Structure 1
Amino acid sequence: YEIHYMNIANGCCGTAEHSREEIIAIRREEARSAAASIGAVYHESLVDDIAIFYEPRLLARVAAVIREVAPEILLVQSPQGYMEDHQNAARLAVTGAFTRGMPNFITDPPRAPVSQPVTVYHAQPHGNRDPLRHLVRPDIFVDISSVITLKRAMLAHHQSQKVWLDHTQGMDAYLDAMQDQSREVGAMSGRFTYAEGWRRRLHLGFCDATADPLITALRDYCLVHA
């Protein structure tokens, strides 16, 4: 697979020390560096922080990217994220995928519709909890024990995010927080030391009922809970 990487928001509000223009540039370079570290294709951000709304103009821009890429697998945020930007990003990605083959849905910039089936998977919410503090249990556990060091190194490229989270949310050692949450998902699996959790979205409007390409690609590393 060719991996594509995109942050819808540009990080403009994620600082207590830099100007808007400075932090946007910093976040962009950090994201590009993180993407490059795993050989991913980087896509530019579209809007400011706290400006990810489920509305037609932004949807048209997100949908254009999805048509350009025509993914077979779409990995998106949890519908139950702790922050509204995260929830709205998930909704935009899902609807962008849903409209991929609609000729009368005009994207920005205009892109031809695509017929590529796509299977949508939702990640775990940050903290493995929904906004009402309930534990979210995934359906699919992917063993990442052998690549947890690589995941940590990729996340470490986002240095300004660490500074911001330390300052505003008391999230010291954000790399350790990622590792702790991966360990918790691994414990949920009952098998893996570190794991990512995913939930497959209903196939209707996206793909065949039996399509499960993430499992096919990572079969030796997956545990599925019915």
Structure 2
Amino acid sequence: MQETPKDGLRRGDLGWFDAGRRARIGMPEAIYAAGKSDAALVEMIDFALEGSGPVLVTRFDPSRWELVASRAPWLAFPGIEENSDYVTLVARPLDQTTTKYVAILAAGSSDRVMALEARAVLTALGVHSHLILDCGVSAIERTMVALDEAHEAEIFIVLAGFEGALATVVASMVSKPVIGVPTSVGYGVARGGETAMASMLTSCAQGLMVMGIDNGFGAACAALRILSVR
């Protein structure tokens, strides 16, 4: 790859890589694996590994593992062997330098892969997270238990499909920032997460922030921005 004069932006044979992003905004460029050819993916990963900071690869198809396995000691969220549609890969995570943590509450265990995408990003940047699965409002007693367990969190990331109600409940119960992630989990008029997203966007809970459908990555990035000013 060749570096352009401005801000560490580099251009390879198959794409561009923003090597200066972490210096500008505190977070490295994430390599979005879905849709990239094998050659383009390897080129981006090899260039990212030339740097000294954390490396993030999102929406990685585990069937392509042999392409990258030998290139770095990877953390995989979830593990490669767990037969998920996609995983998030992390190399060279930063050491944790704060006791502050982000709570990740997932309404159902079917939201786990998206929740782990958020956890991967936080781990890469040295931020501890506490993940609680299956705490949705269909049995609201478990929601209350989860909120009690995570009461010291600085930020809450809340993932929910179906009608997306968990985000409103959490945002009505805590004073810390709440980031809702509608997920594509649910039957019929759940419409691949559109109903959950509309529900969160029309929430009566004041100040609830909402990401796009299944965007655990974006939720973690938002949490990191909030933490940087707290």
**Structure with the larger RCO, 1 or 2 (CA within 8 Å, 6+ apart):** 1
* TM-score (ref. length: structure 1): 0.32
Kindly indicate which of the two structures has a greater share of residues assigned to strand: 2
